Structure 1
Amino acid sequence: MHAYLITGRTKEDRINYIINKQAELKASRFDAITLAPTEETIGIANVRDFQGQLLLSPYNSPKKIGIIKDAHTMTVEAQNALLKTLEEPPPRTVLFLECSTNDTLLPTIVSRCQLINLGVTTDNSDKNTLLLCFETIEQACALPVGKRLAIVDEIAKTREDAKQWVELAIFSVRNHMLRRYGFTEKTGTLPSDLHNSQFMIHDSRLLRSLLTAQAQLSANVTPKLVLDTVFLSLSNTHITTQSHSVL
């Protein structure tokens, strides 16, 4: 899939999700093309200019990223113009459409994207859930093996429970790393002295472990087996929050 439709939660959450994916794809800010409403809508001329920029080869990244913010503001004509790009995307291009809901998008647009719904935000409940998920990992790092596996028994009662927990864990750990190591949307890079730091190495391993778990759960591997592996791999050097907020 070359196109993703990001919905749910807040606009900030959706943009952060895209930033995380951009980092995962190793796409620099020079190879990220953003389209946003100039006034209240995104018109056909805006989409055609966006498409023209996507046709250029990546400058210094393996992938080129196209981001459409507030995709629901595209006019019908603009959406129809975008269809060709969704059907036949330029080589090495990944598209992200961001909007609070897909109700105002044409069915032909939605059907050509992989839908990523980040869920619903109600007051502070979303932040509390992320923080609780993060604290579960942090606390488990200091626990003996038996108690770690007892945590797994609680969060892996069903496959859907396990999937939701892993998704939240990935989101919260990525946010923690963005803040802890200074990765920002503006620079798109990490400070050079952090690439080989002990904490960076361990936190990166944890993130890879969670991403592997996510893939295994989608491949119908037993949830308890998947999360047992994640929690057994934790060490007390993985995460130390101290003054670094996950949110």
Structure 2
Amino acid sequence: MTFIWLADLSFNIYNKFMHSILIFGGKKIDREREILRAIPPSPSNHPDIKVISPALRKGIGINEARGIKSFLQTKPLKMRGKVVIIRNAETLTLQAQNALLKTLEEPPANSKIIIETRNENRLLPTIISRCKRVNLGNKNLVDENSPEHNEQVKLFVELLEEGRGQRLDFIEKNKQKIASKEYAMNLLDIWVSVLRDRLLLNMDNNSAILNKQNKEILKKLNLDKLNLDTKKIVSLIEFSQELKETIQNTNGSSRLALELFLLEAGSFVFPP
């Protein structure tokens, strides 16, 4: 039996925070349990709840993301508001994330969006900043506490201040590791975590940064000197999403993808 009053109670409790909730980290079963705290049983059969999941071997596309706002704007039948659950949000395409962002910026009244992902670092920082974050544990693909991660953070900060030649030298020296798609994607995640954290620091959102151990290093990153403003950082993050989609879904060269990213970052610092 579905207890509608219990669903309403959960909905009202969650509405005391933000229109959108981001649940990340931990195990998949833990994230699912957290979702169930805010919804009634059998959410897939509930008329006021829409569940979005990636299709087999495909991500969540722009059409699904555009349909979220339309669904939330319709009149609820059993609850006081409408709820959308996005499972495995790390599979959202870049276009879908941008479409979702528009809904997060102007959410319909009495609506709730619950975003579930194993790795929040694969979402645009502008999406993260508009959500109440529920961290279920440091189980992301990017382990910000590992020595290798901290070393790569510092190295990327240095690379941002280096010229074209030094960036390509880095790729050449690490070509065997970079040949692995998994390694290349994780390295891109680390680089993106640096950019998103620097952007979040600019937004005075210190609590949401991933690289807490390297916070002081990030603060010293002179964005004016690097010719990197918020718009350009967001552009780089979006470009990295495109590259990760290419690495993951095609036979494209992971080395070439990383070279393109470093050169794109360098084009702001050393424009042609």
Task: Work out which structure has the larger RCO, using CA pairs closer than 8 Å and 6 or more positions apart in sequence.
Answer: 1
TM-score (norm 2): 0.44
TM-score (norm 1): 0.47
